[in-house]
């Protein structure tokens, strides 16, 4: 089963493929900035009933006669079978598209990243037939971004930093910088990268820090937790509206009625009570239809 953190690690590159070039430029690998990017089919299955899918496949056009394929794989742990699959991906992509492929592997822990970064040689020792050299992003080389201003200048890179360093003891500082940076962009962009961060953190302890940070401003956050909190906020507001209407109409509200209204979290029920509050003669009549 594909984990949420696995999903987030490669979706960051779908949202902003340029983060690839920007990240590796800081590592002294001068990949050119894309001028055009195309999302390619990820299904590499052939006629045999063996399904093979790369996580994300992008065609990067960086200029005239300067195009390549970027295959992104998120790797959560060491897997001795993966290098064989990666070699297949690379060979198949080159044969199919006749473009040079680049394999990018993203990891969230140092040991997996170091394992993935090793050169894989296929063939007998006396005559290696194929060498595979993945580019790897992980806690060992993704920059730690703790300055909100720096994070705001590159939200996708700051998100990648937050996810890859999610298990770091100082993850809270990174997440605070990203949370502050998301306040500087439009709601749609903030929503995307806030959700990607939550997905990427998965069950890591830092996930709670992120949810706490996001609970301060939920206008752009679509996580399950924030949806629940927003629903609670709407329920509380509707309950206050019902009580206000009854008060304006001069209808006395006994304490037990007030408590029942205030404690209700069902927006549909509150909606019915709201409609009845406009016409009932006594506060208890709000519930008459429910109890009949």
Percent of the chain at pLDDT > 90 equals 21
The per-residue pLDDT for 177 is: 93
Q: Which residue has the higher pLDDT, 45 or 87?
A: 87
* Cross-strand pairs, 105: 73, 136
The per-residue pLDDT for 50 is: 41
SS3 136: strand
The per-residue pLDDT for 7 is: 66
With 50 as the cut, is the pLDDT of residue 37 above it? yes
DSSP state of 51: -
Mean pLDDT, residues 32-60: 65
pLDDT digits (tens, 9 = 90+) for 176-234: 999 999 888 877 778 888 888 888 887 778 888 988 888 765 444 445 555 565 567 67
Give 170-218 as a DSSP string: THHHHHHHHHHHHTTS-HHHHHHHHHHHHHHHTTSTHHHHHHHHHTT--
Strands 101-106 and 135-137, sheet pairing: parallel
The per-residue pLDDT for 252 is: 92
Rounded-to-integer distance, Cα 251 and Cα 259, Å = 16
With 90 as the cut, is the pLDDT of residue 146 above it? yes
pLDDT digits (tens, 9 = 90+) for 80-117: 888 888 998 899 899 988 999 999 888 888 899 999 99
R_g of the chain, CA atoms, integer Å: 26
The per-residue pLDDT for 36 is: 72
Work out the burial of residue 136: count CB atoms within 10 Å of its CB; fewer than 13 is exposed, 13-18 middle, 19 or more buried.
buried
Is the CB of residue 213 less than 8 Å from the CB of residue 179?
yes
Of 59-63, 163-167, 194-198, 214-218, the least confident = 214-218
Is the CB of residue 140 less than 8 Å from the CB of residue 108?
no
Is the CB of residue 110 less than 8 Å from the CB of residue 140?
yes
Percent of the chain at pLDDT > 70 equals 83
Of 20-34, 60-74, 125-139, 261-275, the least confident = 20-34
Report in angstroms the alpha-carbon separations of 266 from 12, 219, 263, 272, 287.
36, 21, 9, 10, 14
With 60 as the cut, is the pLDDT of residue 46 above it? no
Mean residue pLDDT of the chain comes to 81
Task: Please report, in angstroms and rounded to a whole number, the separation of the first and last CA atoms in the chain.
Answer: 48
The per-residue pLDDT for 288 is: 81
Mean pLDDT, residues 5-9: 66
pLDDT digits (tens, 9 = 90+) for 126-137: 888 889 999 898
Rounded-to-integer distance, Cα 228 and Cα 210, Å = 16
Mean pLDDT, residues 74-81: 88
Structure confidence at residue 21 as a pLDDT band (50, 70, 90): confident
């Amino acid at each position: 089963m594909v984990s949420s953190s696995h999903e987030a690690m490669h979706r960051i590159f779908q949202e902003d493929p340029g983060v690839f070039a920007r990240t590796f430029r800081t590592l002294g690998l001068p990949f050119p900035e894309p001028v055009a990017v195309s999302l390619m089919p990820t299904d590499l299955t052939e006629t045999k009933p063996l399904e093979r899918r790369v996580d994300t496949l992008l065609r990067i056009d960086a200029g005239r006669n300067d195009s390549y394929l970027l295959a992104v794989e998120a790797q959560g742990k060491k897997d001795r079978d993966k290098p064989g699959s990666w070699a297949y991906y690379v060979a198949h992509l080159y044969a199919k598209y006749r473009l040079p492929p680049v394999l990018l592997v993203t990891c969230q822990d140092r040991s997996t990243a170091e394992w993935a970064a090793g050169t894989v040689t296929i063939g007998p020792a006396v005559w290696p037939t194929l060498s595979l050299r993945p580019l790897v992003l992980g806690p060992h080389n993704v920059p730690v971004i703790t300055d909100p201003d720096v994070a705001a200048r590159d939200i996708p890179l700051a998100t990648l930093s937050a996810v890859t360093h999610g298990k770091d003891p100082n993850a809270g500082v990174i997440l605070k910088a990203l949370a502050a940076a998301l306040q500087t962009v439009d709601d749609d962009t903030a929503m995307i990268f806030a959700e990607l961060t939550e997905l990427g953190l998965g069950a890591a302890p830092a996930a709670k820090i992120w949810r706490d940070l996001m609970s301060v401003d939920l206008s752009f956050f679509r996580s399950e937790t924030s949806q629940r909190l927003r629903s609670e906020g709407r329920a509380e507001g509707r309950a206050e509206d019902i009580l206000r209407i009854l008060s304006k109409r001069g209808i006395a509200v006994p304490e037990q009625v007030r408590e029942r209204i205030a404690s209700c979290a069902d927006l549909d029920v509150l909606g019915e009570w709201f409609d009845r509050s406009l016409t009932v003669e006594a506060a208890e009549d709000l519930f008459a239809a429910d109890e009949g």
